[in-house]
């Protein structure tokens, strides 16, 4: 005991306190940052009411006896890469179902063709039996009242809206989710608990891309 007190150094004690406080502050900031990130990833985007009947003004062809799936995308939305992957899983599960699929890539008219040639665009082109379209100023997406990148609509053979929502479990994440299972069930003519789901993605028309909005 006596030896401990004789070796006690006020300078060392103050130094250790500073280290402990700095470590505690770092851990607190880390927890706050992780909480913000988790909250952002799980915060749904703007949800809109899509037309209950197929909008003729879209000028997209709808086969009378087919289901038709429409997904609106912003080419610079990193979150939507997960939507493309989930869509690929859906298409693999319903290969025998008559389904027409459109991917609408938003592109402002003032920007060049190359503006939309992102990794997301290239991944979309790799999907089989999918029509990938350049949607100038989002005019086609507007006829479907889409507002978020990754918003997915499914219309039935009669042109009636069957599903409106997202097909990812969180922002930029893949995995089991209500939207994907609802679409697969509907295409398999099974009942579903809900015909809507949260959409996790970037704003379709207001996402800014610093340094990439070039003509």
Q: Tell me the per-residue pLDDT of 173-188, one tens digit each, with 9 for 90 and over.
A: 899 999 999 999 999 9
Specify the pTM. 0.77
Domain assignments of the chain as residue spans, ordered by start: 2-41, 56-187
Q: How far is 75 from 209, CA to CA, in rounded Å?
A: 10
Computed over every residue of the chain, the mean pLDDT equals 84
Q: Where are the beta strands (DSSP E) in the chain?
A: 67-73, 99-107, 131-136, 152-155, 161-165
What is the per-residue pLDDT for 24?
Answer: 58
What percent of the residues of the chain are helix, what percent strand, and what percent coil, each to the nearest 5? 35, 20, 45
Do residues 132 and 121 make contact, with C-beta atoms less than 8 angstroms apart? yes
Q: How far is 98 from 67, CA to CA, in rounded Å?
A: 6
Confidence of residue 49 (pLDDT cuts 50, 70, 90): confident
CATH of span 56-187:
3.40.30.10
110-147 pLDDT, tens digit each: 999 899 999 999 999 999 999 999 999 999 999 999 99
Confidence of residue 6 (pLDDT cuts 50, 70, 90): low
């Amino acid at each position: 005991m006596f030896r401990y007190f004789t070796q006690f150094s006020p300078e060392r004690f103050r130094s250790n306190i500073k280290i402990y406080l700095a470590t505690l502050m770092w851990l607190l900031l880390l927890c706050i940052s992780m909480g913000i990130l988790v909250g952002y990833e799980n915060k749904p985007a703007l949800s809109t009411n899509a037309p209950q009947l197929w909008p003729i003004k879209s000028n997209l062809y709808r086969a009378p006896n087919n289901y038709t799936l429409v997904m609106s995308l912003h080419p610079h939305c990193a979150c939507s890469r997960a939507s493309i992957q989930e869509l690929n899983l859906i298409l693999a599960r319903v290969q025998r179902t008559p389904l027409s699929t459109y991917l609408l890539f938003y592109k402002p008219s003032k920007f060049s063709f190359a503006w939309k040639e992102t990794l997301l665009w290239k991944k979309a082109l790799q999907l089989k039996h999918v029509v990938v379209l350049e949607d100038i100023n989002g005019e086609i997406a507007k006829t479907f009242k889409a507002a978020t990148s990754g918003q997915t609509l499914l219309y039935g053979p009669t042109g009636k809206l069957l599903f409106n929502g997202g097909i990812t479990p969180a922002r930029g994440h893949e995995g089991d989710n209500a939207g994907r299972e609802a679409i697969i069930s509907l295409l398999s003519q099974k009942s579903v608990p809900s015909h809507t789901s949260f959409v996790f993605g970037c704003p379709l028309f207001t996402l800014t891309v610093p340094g990439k909005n070039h003509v």
